[in-house]
């Protein structure tokens, strides 16, 4: 029996609900040596900012129990370079392209949205709102429902593309933030970004990361992510992209049951470059073994 894996998310038609999490897949070049990237449901670009960013000082990564910390610092070549060199490359995969963007001010988000207008091959914009708002004294856009709403509204005003807002888990009440961004025009939300963490080398007494703190990702954060997806699914009506510690198809299915329409895979790509293909195949197997015909039959079906 054949099963349907395709989903539509904020108007984006995907042949399956699996995509990479921004920043963990480059723009597909490296991974295309390991598998056919065209098999994915969509490709999500690494966060792009208006101007090039050098990123943080090394060390930038360290392994932790069932996870890792990173403080890459949004290193990227800037929007101009992205449009000229990366996007044309990504178009070759012939799958929807989601461009993840970030700014230090509302104007920067607005500007990038304007610059992406009419650009061939962009299927959606994902707002990374984990960055600090310089004008608001460095508090992350995503940490305040007011700022999150403003940045979504400013982006919404400047683009007709589907708008996905990627939520940070470093907040007390994620549902409140989700409600705020949806009221400001988000077509979908993705969650979670990394949890702020710290690790100290007891031989040198120094933090493991030059930046002292970094974002925790990997299996360690999965229960937090599932809980947040579940909470947000109760709160808003827009589709959810579930992210956080997904290593296997079984992990992905938990997210569907919690209410995600699609999922994104991050850290697992580093452990197994073919992780996403194996997850797609695993979801298909799970569905047919259990007698389901459509992945959508799982969405939000947790029995509570």
**Binding site residues, another protein, CB under 8 A:** 23-26, 29-31, 33-34, 54-55, 57-63, 66-68, 70, 72, 75, 201, 203-205, 210, 218-219, 267, 269-274
Which stretch, 22-30, 91-99, 113-121, 181-189, contacts ligand FMN (CB under 6 A)? 22-30
What's the rounded Cα separation, in Å, for the pair 182 and 165? Answer: 9
Q: Name which of 158, 167, 124, 127 is nearest 13 in CA terms.
A: 124
Does position 21 interact with ligand FMN (CB under 6 A)? The reply is yes
168 touches ligand FMN by CB under 6 A? no
Q: Residue 128: which of 158, 154, 148 has the closest Cα?
A: 148
265 binds, among ligand FMN, another protein, none (CB under 5 to 8 A by kind): ligand FMN
CB 114 within 8 A of CB 81: no
The residue within the footprint of ligand FMN, chosen from 95, 110, 228, 265 (CB under 6 A), is 265
Assess 28 for contact with ligand FMN (CB under 6 A): no
| Distance of alpha carbon 168 from alpha carbon 193, whole angstroms | 5
Active-site option among 95, 131, 143, 163? 131
Active site residue 131: yes
Q: In the chain, count of helices (H) and strands (E)?
A: 9, 16
Tokens of 132: 């600090």
For position 241 contacting ligand FMN by CB under 6 A, the verdict is no
| Residue 266 within binding range of ligand FMN, rule CB under 6 A | yes
Cα→Cα distances 205→198, 200, 212, 224, 269, Å: 13, 6, 12, 29, 31
Residue 100 interacts, among another protein, ligand FMN, none and using kind-specific CB cut-offs from 5 to 8 Å, with ligand FMN
Encoded tokens for 50 = 């208006």
The residues binding ligand FMN (CB under 6 A) are 21-24, 46-47, 70, 72, 74, 100, 128, 166, 193-194, 217-218, 221, 243-246, 265-268
* Positions marked catalytic: 131
């Amino acid at each position: 029996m054949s099963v349907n894996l395709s989903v539509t998310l904020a108007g984006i038609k995907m042949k399956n609900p699996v995509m990479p999490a921004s920043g963990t897949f480059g723009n597909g070049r490296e991974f295309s040596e390991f598998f056919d990237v065209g098999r994915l449901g969509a490709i999500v670009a690494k966060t792009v900012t208006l101007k090039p960013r050098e990123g943080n000082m090394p060390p930038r990564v360290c392994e932790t129990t069932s996870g890792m910390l990173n403080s890459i610092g949004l290193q990227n070549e800037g929007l101009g370079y992205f449009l000229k060199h990366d996007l044309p490359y990504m178009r070759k995969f012939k799958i929807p392209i989601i461009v993840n963007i970030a700014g230090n001010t509302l104007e920067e988000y607005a500007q990038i949205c304007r610059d992406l207008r009419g650009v061939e091959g962009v299927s959606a914009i994902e707002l990374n709102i984990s960055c600090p708002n310089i004008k608001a004294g460095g508090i992350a856009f995503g940490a305040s429902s007011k700022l999150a709403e403003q940045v979504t509204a400013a982006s919404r005003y400047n683009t007709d593309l589907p708008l996905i807002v990627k939520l940070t888990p470093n907040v007390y009440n994620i549902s409140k933030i989700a409600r705020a961004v949806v009221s400001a025009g988000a077509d979908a939300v993705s969650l979670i970004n990394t949890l702020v963490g710290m690790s100290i080398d007891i031989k040198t007494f120094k933090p493991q990361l030059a930046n002292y703190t970094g974002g925790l990702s990997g299996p360690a954060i999965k229960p937090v992510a599932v809980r947040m997806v579940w909470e947000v699914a109760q709160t808003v009506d827009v589709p959810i992209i579930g992210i956080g510690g997904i290593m296997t198809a079984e992990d992905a299915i938990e997210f569907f049951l919690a209410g995600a329409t699609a999922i994104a895979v991050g850290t697992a790509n580093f452990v197994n470059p073919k992780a996403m293909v194996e997850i797609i195949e695993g979801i298909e197997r799970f569905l047919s073994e259990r007698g389901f015909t459509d992945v959508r039959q799982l969405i939000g079906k947790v029995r509570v």
